[in-house]
Amino acid sequence: MSATPPIAELSDRARDIFRRVVDGYLHDGQPVGSKTLAQAGLNLSPASIRGVLAQLEAMGLLAAPHTSAGRMPTERGLRLFVDGMMQATEPSAEERAQIEARAANRGPVEEALAATTAALSGLSACAGLVMVPKREAVLRSIGFVPLGPGTNGPQALAVLVAEDGGVENRVVDLPPGVSASALVEAGNYMTATLGGLTLAEARTRIERELGEGQSALDVAARTLVERGLAVWSEDGARRSVLIVRGQGRLLDDAAAADLERVRELLDDLEGKQEVAALLGAASAGDATRIFIGAENKLFALSGSSVIAKPFRGLDGRVVGVVGVIGPTRLNYARIVPIVDFTAATLARLMG
């Protein structure tokens, strides 16, 4: 495909007609015909309008889905519109308040991120998403709860409580003959020794103390401590956290005639590793990135658009990316500023 022509190559008449076609299509999802344009106040005959539409179609900016059915913008035309003609509208006070209220949600950071993403989804009528690096929990306490026999012998539930209030559980295999008192001893030791440390710091301290024989733990409790810490340390190698909210908003009335496209999009969203890679590409620089349809290989089949914006912490490093995924027929002028504002709000949250 050849490069999209610059907006300067269009005459004033062609630019006006092109903008009206795009605005009409983004508003109701229907091709715009010459009769509709003539009735919109253009001081041109339908024949003249049809001539301009034909020129825009020849340039690859418009397409006619059916004979005499009017024109709609191509992905190339949408790119020209977004880059050279779109006039963004700032979020309203109510929209800003909704986003800020969700970001202020008390509790674990991931809950606030999920709530903010849900708000973004609701305001944009798209699927909202946010990606952040896996944050190492700062430990408050660790305990073990016996579960009884498992496939490989007795098991226990290792319960980690983080300083931010988050609670996570992991199942660990117990050494043979471990007693209830050993579970308590191991939990007490880990809480007293590791409280206030990250997992990486906790591993270093445990390895040093056990290696130097500084611990008074018996063999069973020592084995429990090592196994419990090993289970939690696996989290440090996890990929980035990707939260997607509002997939159901992609199944609106306008999508009823194009269910195959929506199915393709929902399938794409299931491949979270690929979506995370796309957002990773959007994290370069500070600008809002807009991927339209086939411009991104992942969403080429579903014909979807992605609007994504990185956000930074106090040290200036990128700490995440937030955005929306929806059909190419998006209200870009309204949604881009909402994504920008959400990114700024999450920057304050993560800072």
* Beta strands 318-327 and 304-312, pairing class: antiparallel
Q: 235 in helix, strand or coil? A: helix
Q: How far, in Å, CA of 57 to CA of 35, rounded?
A: 17
pLDDT tens, 282-313?
877 788 999 998 888 777 767 788 999 999 88
CA atoms lying within 13 Å on the CB side of residue 47: 0
pLDDT tens, 324-340?
988 888 999 999 999 99
Whether the CB-CB separation of 325 and 276 falls below 8 Å is answered with: no
Of all residues in the chain, what percent carry a pLDDT higher than 90?
30
Of all residues in the chain, what percent carry a pLDDT higher than 70?
83
Residue 236: predicted pLDDT: 47
Q: Where are the alpha helices (DSSP H) in the chain?
A: 12-28, 34-38, 46-58, 75-84, 93-103, 109-124, 180-194, 199-211, 219-233, 259-270, 272-282, 332-350
Q: How far, in Å, CA of 65 to CA of 138, rounded?
A: 56
Whether 232 shows a pLDDT value over 70: the answer reads no
pLDDT tens, 192-201?
888 888 777 8
How high does pLDDT run on average in the chain?
82
Whether the CB-CB separation of 173 and 146 falls below 8 Å is answered with: no
Q: Between residues 85 and 299, which one has the greater pLDDT? A: 85
Mean pLDDT of 264-278: 71
Residue 237: predicted pLDDT: 45
Q: How far, in Å, CA of 273 to CA of 276, rounded?
A: 5
Whether the CB-CB separation of 292 and 88 falls below 8 Å is answered with: no
Lookup: tokens for 268? 């794409």
CA atoms lying within 13 Å on the CB side of residue 80: 26
Top-ranked range on mean pLDDT: pick from 74-83, 97-106, 295-304: 74-83
Whether 34 shows a pLDDT value over 60: the answer reads yes
Residue 71: pLDDT band (50, 70, 90) is very high
Q: How far, in Å, CA of 329 to CA of 323, rounded?
A: 16
Residue 97: predicted pLDDT: 96
